[in-house]
Amino acid sequence: MNTNPIQSLKRRRFLTQGTMAASAVALPYFIPSSALGRAGTVAPSNRIVMAGIGLGGRGLGDLRVMLGEPDVRFVAVCDVHKGRRDVAKKAVDSKNGNTDCATYGDLRQLLAEQTDVEGVLIATGDRWHALASVLAMRAGKDVYCEKPACLAMAEGQEVVETARRYGRVYQTGAQRLSESPHVCAIEMARSGRLGPIHTVYADCRWRGGYIQEWLPGEPEPGKTDLDWDLWLGPSPWRPYHGSYVNGGAWYNHEDFATDIAMWGAHTVAQALAGLDMTNVTTIDFAFTKPAATMVTRLSNGVKLVLYRKAGSVWDPCQYWNGSCGERFDGADGWAAAADGYTKPALSSPALLKDYKKVIADYQGRTQRPMNHVRDFLNCIRSRRPTVANPEVMFLSMSICLAADICEKLQRNLKFDLLRAEFVGDPEANRLRNRTMRAPYTF
């Protein structure tokens, strides 16, 4: 037995160093290549950490799209409906290969506890969009929020001001601003290929009007399964009825949704993108009758037609075939696009020859991908505004909501785009806001 303490110390050091060396040699065999950023994957240190809030039908679809991006890692999901958050957790855990995804019923708890989350997907019911976005941005998160982004102009203003004050990236889910057929139609108008634009059309389909009455009350589920008060959020209180939550009945109720703005949130931003709005100061709304096409006129003389028709959105119309369409009419031709188009419809086949060049020129000029989610993620990294940034959202939503107010009051209105207020109409101006139910306020 060696009793020399110096020799014993040397021996222990040799054994320790040998063990460490052996571990270092073996290390690559125990860590998957995805964790090291190999084999086309992204290393954990370069991934954008995200959480999802409101993950029903549309939200779950958005979540799955984002899970497909290689540099995204979801770590938490939130929904007041237990069944939906369980489904969302399963999708995240399956992608991550573990069971670590945290679940929440209250978005405020998620925002307080998930301090490492950089960005959030918000796809709650419309009543929560603006408030959830503001709370998330105040908590230091970048936001991808589904449309319509707000139910009132005052809510939209708060989103814009919060994004600016906290330096947050915000993208509203007007995804057609990142789809090639729509982008090409927009660029045809913007670049002058159609000549001076005199009329632009946006699909603002007729939804059948508001329902103002409450549905009869039913026994509430347990709070573990569904927190009804939290589901209502800033909306006025009413008794629980299952079809609000499970049947989508909220969609047609005035307390929870908008009318023209519900569908215009999809398309007015597309119409405005093809116009030079630099010097546009006011817009005149001409009331005809409820649920009718509304013709508005910008101060530069361009007509913006909020086109509405009954029946299926897929029924043919004279401007496009399909839903969520826009059309630009210029002195030298027209361009239109809608869902289902692989290329825009154009007045002349000769214009279509420029299709690839128009898209290439747009991407070269803007450095935007033809992928709305990807644009949001790229902007999280670069910190530049998204294609559907807060100002784009607020301008398009203000016009939609002004049209709603015009229809509600059943009279012509003039709206000042710079001041975001109606000219000489106090009653209309009072309707720019909705009362938010405490404690669900800004």
Evaluate if residue 354 carries a pLDDT over 80: yes
Question: How far apart are the C-alpha atoms of 389 and 401, rounded to whole Å?
Answer: 18
Evaluate if residue 34 carries a pLDDT over 80: no
Task: Give residue 134's identity as a one-letter amino acid code.
Answer: V
Q: What angle do CA 125, 126, 132 make, to 5 degrees?
A: 85
Question: How far apart are the C-alpha atoms of 86 and 95, rounded to whole Å?
Answer: 14
- The string of DSSP letters for 309-355 reads -SS-TTS--SS-SSSS-EEEEETTEEEEE-TT-SS-EES-HHHHTTH
Q: Rg (Cα) of the chain, in Å, rounded? A: 26
pLDDT tens-digit readout, 20-33: 333 333 334 454 55
So what's the pLDDT on residue 79?
97
So what's the pLDDT on residue 154?
97
Question: How far apart are the C-alpha atoms of 246 and 241, rounded to whole Å?
Answer: 9
Evaluate if residue 4 carries a pLDDT over 70: no
pLDDT tens-digit readout, 123-159: 999 999 999 999 999 999 999 999 999 999 999 999 9
Is the model more confident about 250 or about 384? 384
Fold of 179-209+259-367+391-430: Dihydrodipicolinate Reductase; domain 2 (3.30.360)
Helix (H), strand (E) at residue 303: strand 303-307
pLDDT tens-digit readout, 182-212: 999 999 999 999 999 999 999 998 766 678 8
The residue ranges of every structural domain in the chain are 44-172, 179-209+259-367+391-430, 220-256
- In the chain, % of residues over pLDDT 70: 88
The model's pTM is 0.89
Question: How far apart are the C-alpha atoms of 264 and 286, rounded to whole Å?
Answer: 17
pLDDT tens-digit readout, 40-64: 567 777 899 999 999 998 999 999 9
So what's the pLDDT on residue 105?
97
Evaluate if residue 421 carries a pLDDT over 70: yes
So what's the pLDDT on residue 310?
67
pLDDT tens-digit readout, 294-313: 999 999 999 999 998 766 65
Q: How many CB atoms lie within 10 A of CB 426?
A: 8
15 pLDDT tier (thresholds 50, 70, 90): very low
So what's the pLDDT on residue 356?
95
Fold of 44-172: Rossmann fold (3.40.50)
pLDDT, average across residues 406-410 = 95
In eight-state DSSP terms, residue 435 is: P
413-416, strands of its sheet edge to edge: 345-346, 333-337, 326-330, 197-203, 303-307, 294-298, 282-286, 413-416, 421-422
Question: How far apart are the C-alpha atoms of 286 and 219, rounded to whole Å?
Answer: 45
Evaluate if residue 247 carries a pLDDT over 80: no
So what's the pLDDT on residue 262?
87
In eight-state DSSP terms, residue 2 is: -
121, 380 Cβ separation under 8 angstroms: no
Q: Which residues touch 436 (CB under 8 Å, ≥6 apart)?
A: 131, 234, 442
- 178-182, 256-260, 327-331: segment of lowest average pLDDT: 256-260
- Residue 30: is it exposed, middle or buried by C-beta count within 10 angstroms (0-12/13-18/19+)? exposed
Evaluate if residue 371 carries a pLDDT over 70: yes
Burial 386-424 (b: 16+ CB within 10 A, else e): bbbbbebbbbbbbbbbbbbbbbbbeeebbbebeebbbee
14 pLDDT tier (thresholds 50, 70, 90): very low
